[in-house]
Structure 1
Amino acid sequence: MSNIIITGAGTGMGLSMTKKFLANDWHVIMAVRNAAKAEKVYQELQDQYGDQVAMYQVDVSNGQAVAKFAEQVNTQYNQVDTVISNAGIFTGSLLHELSKEAWDKTMAVDVKSIFLMTKAFVPGMMARHAGNIINISSVAGLLGDYNMPAYNAAKGAGTNLVRSMALDYGQYGIRVNNINPGATNTPMFQGNSEEVKAAYRNDSPLKRIAEPEEIANVAYFLVSDQASAITGQNVGASMGYGIWTGQPKQ
């Protein structure tokens, strides 16, 4: 049974990916920021899958916490085959109104966590000459948006980081890819007003937003042997966001 770590696994896209991999006989190691909040869903998964699923509380933006997590995982399991860095936060503000603390937190959770998780688990993949790393980025990492300077900058860093990682680790048989969703029907998105949610749906070429399960399907494909030739890519799963030049309809 292959082992996968999924960060931000207690809700939204992370939870959908957890369920997708469990349903396909993977052993899933859930990394969550707040174990108490995720306890109910974890118990439900344990009732269905038993010791096929495990959960750890870890702040993936904190170096000491990730090092402790890696020590626990490497002691418990013989190897980690795939890491999906899904944990992330959204920060919206004009740049001059953004606090230093908000900027630093966005960079820590959305970028530094990828660095820390890779640093912790890629050596084992290198030793085995096999592995997959997937980072959940955003269409906001490919283009600019109004009132999202920190988020655009953080996701933009991930856009190029995946290429560098793919170049460096390909010789070890490790594939590295990003998934770039647009608006997705997660609890975070549902926190928007009905007007905002309708605007996102109407602006999509498909006239809807993505479901978390659809992002999970892309992740599962990228890890599979069917995607064996794919590395260093920013794979869009955005309902068509990012394909328009911005020019008016004629």
Structure 2
Amino acid sequence: METVVITGATSGIGLSTTRLFLNKGWGVMMASNQREQGEKLCAKFAEQFGNDRVAFTCTDVSDAASVAALHDATFTKFSSVTSLVNDAGIVISGKLHEVAEEDWNRVFAVNVTGTYLVSKAFLPAMIAQHRGTIVNISSISGLAGDFNMVAYNATKGAIVNMTRAMAMDYGPDGIRVNSIAPGPTETPLFPADQIDRFSKHSPLGRIVQPEEIAQAVYFAATPASSAMTGENIPITAGFEIGTGQPAK
């Protein structure tokens, strides 16, 4: 059985990705700092897919000891790990001079250091088996700037270039590393009152659904993308393809 570790697995993109991998027959280790929600979801999925297919570990990806516990729990449950999806992330808004230092440090701790710590924990096993895939969730906010989002922009830009560097370092070990860059996506992190406004900037007249991101993650994690590594794939409903020239 192929297995995947998914951080941020209890909501939004992470939850949709969990469902998709389970539906595709994979074993899934769900990781999130939302203990109650994670345990409820895991019990539901275990009833639907079988207890041997899914587990949950409450994890703070910014804490090395918590990530080590996730690693140990994963290999207690499953014999190997095929893929890792680094989805856990938070958003901090504000212009640079408005962002408190503790908020700046926290968003980097979760979004960037979290990706580093979780990848570092699982890479040795992938190197030993000479195969594996890592999918990092970046953002179109890592490819261009946003108003009042400097901290988030900085972290997601870091993820894009981390992905490239990791792909170069671990390709000889049979490990592929790619990132998915969602555009505005209808998750709990996205303000519901902004959906219509953002939809007007898409050629498709809508924002992205988390299930659509999950499909891209699954593609990047599986042999369907066997010649692809170090890439950043925008899934945006066309949100970012224009020059900004007004339609009318």
Specify the TM-score bucket, using the shorter chain as the normaliser: over 0.9
Question: What stretches of structure 1 move > 6 A for 4+ residues in a row?
Answer: none
Q: How far 1:186 moved relative to its partner?
A: 0.9
- Structure-2 residue corresponding to 1:137: 138
The offset of 1:163, in angstroms, is: 0.4
Q: 3-state DSSP class of the match of 1:183? A: coil
Correspondence 1:57 to 2:55: no
- 1:103 paired to 2:101: no
* Contact 1:139 1:241 (8 Å CA) reproduced: no
On the 8 A contact 1:6/1:30 being kept in 2, the answer is yes
1:24 maps to: 24
Letter of the 2:80 partner, please give it. Answer: Q
Structure 2's unaligned 5+ residue stretches are none
Shift of 1:73: 1.9
| Residue aligning to 1:199 | 197
Take 2:239 and 2:159, find their aligned partners in 1: how far apart are those partners?
18
Q: 5 Å matches for 1:12-91?
A: 12-51=12-51, 52-91=53-92
1:11 maps to which residue? 11
CA contact (8 A) 1:180 1:236 kept: yes
Is the contact made by 2:57 and 2:73 (CA closer than 8 Å) also made in structure 1? no
Which stretch shows the higher mean deviation, 221-230 or 171-180?
A: 221-230
How far did residue 249 of structure 1 move? Answer: 4.5
Distance 1:37 1:81 in 2: 25
- Partner SS state of residue 203, structure 1: coil
Aligned to 2:94: 93
Q: Distance in 1 between matches of 2:142 and 2:112?
A: 11
For 1:111 and 1:146, the matched residues in 2 are separated by 21
Output one character per residue of 1:165-207: Cα deviation in whole Å (capped at 9) or x when no partner. 0000000110000000011111221xx252x221111111211
RMSD between aligned residues: 1.2
What is the rounded CA distance, in whole Å, between the counterparts of 2:132 and 2:139 in structure 1?
23
* Distance in 2 (alpha carbons) for counterparts of 1:101 and 1:155: 18
Instruction: Give secondary structure in 1 for the equivalent of 2:212.
Output: helix
Task: Check if 1:167 corresponds to 2:168.
Answer: yes
Structure 1 Cα separation of the partners of residues 198 and 91 of structure 2: 16
Write out aligned runs for 1:222-241 (5 A). 222-241=220-239
Q: Does 1:182 align with 2:180?
A: no
> How many Å apart are 1:89 and its aligned residue?
0.6
Report the count of equivalent residues.
247
Corresponding residue number in structure 2 for 1:128: 129
Cα shift at 1:41: 2.3
Q: Deviations over 1:17-67 (max 9, x none)?
A: 001000011000000112112333222211101221111101011111111
Distance across 2 between alignment mates of 1:93 and 1:23: 39
TM-score (norm 1): 0.95
